[in-house]
Chain A
Amino acid sequence: MKILVADDSKVMRQIVIRTLRQAGYSDHDLVEAVDGQDALEQVSSEKPDLVLSDWNMPRMTGIELLQALRGAGQTMPFGFVTSEGSPDMRERAESAGANFLISKPFTPEGFKEHLDPILG
């Protein structure tokens, strides 16, 4: 399985990838996108099985990315990894078609809870 990690912070992409490894997902292919626009382009070229995306990013935000993907008929699982975990943001994420929202700071256990049902 291939996981696309979208975050404008290089450090945060590294932390997400390290946490994925710690959560036991070392065997999956990991690709990185530097913002929502890059992620949208990489979804076409890389065809990931899961997208993990930050919310606040330059050029295209995570919610705009999700809306663009769902608008184009892309149905792959999509989860936010964001510092904003308020009920309002969770509702916006869900209504736009997100499968889950992991709030920062996160733990490997939090990743497993949301990713195991999707990645097995």
Chain B
Amino acid sequence: MSIPVQSDVSSVMETPNVAALISFEDLHAILEQVWASYLHSGDELVPLAAAPAVEQISASVSVSGAFMGHVVFATSASAATQIAAILMDLPPQEVSEDDVADCVGEMANVLGGNLKSLLPGPSVLSLPIVMSSNGGNAMRWPDATVALESELTWHGEPISVTVWAQIDPDL
């Protein structure tokens, strides 16, 4: 598996502190490790100049401490289902929405943990937050559920407040 280095990704290059600490080679090496170890995939990860407009699911973990920031893993809903099917050793049609969220969250966790080790410490890695663009509860936390939700309008524009509660595994 080989990932050519992309040189025109402005979002990272504009942040000199991060660019000085984590190179694209570092990031791609971590991605290759994760793909080889978890997905047993010989398929090449090929960088794109721009992300295609597809239904997306993403997960983020935050790093708080000597370095403050977020690591986000994003992919299409279809790829997320395929990743979950491989990780769980199930046919894609048997993978649930919760499984997909769990898998995408775990990808962010593993990538975040590895990248954190290249950044100044000490710092703490958060639990992952998973977001999808397919409507409904588009943002979710693993192992948590919506406990209270209020949807309102203000000058005709939507406003909502949602309280998430950790699911008690004893229940």
Which residues of A are in contact with B by a Cβ distance under 8 Å? 8-12, 14-15, 18, 34-35, 38, 56-59, 82-86, 88-89, 103-107
Contact = CB atoms under 8 A, between A and B. Distances in A.
Interface residues of B, number: 32
A8 B99 contact: no
B110 A104 contact: yes
Contact of B125 (A18, A35, A56, A88): A56
A83 B110 contact: yes
A68 to B, nearest CB: 17
A105 B88 contact: no
A88 B123 CA distance: 10
Contacts of B106: 9, 11-12
Contact of B37 (A12, A58, A106): A106
Nearest to B100: A11
Nearest to A12: B106
B33 A105 contact: yes
Which DSSP category, helix, strand, loop or mixed, fits chain B's interface?
helix
A83 B125 CA distance: 10
A85 B143 contact: no
Contacts of A105: 33-34, 36-38, 110
B113 A9 contact: no
B84 interface: yes
B131 interface: no
B113 A84 contact: yes
Contacts of A14: 87-89
Interface stretch (B114-122, B132-140, B150-158): B114-122
Given A9-B106, A12-B106, A83-B125, A38 B84 contact: no
A8 B110 contact: no
Contacts of B169: 34-35, 38
A8 B113 contact: no
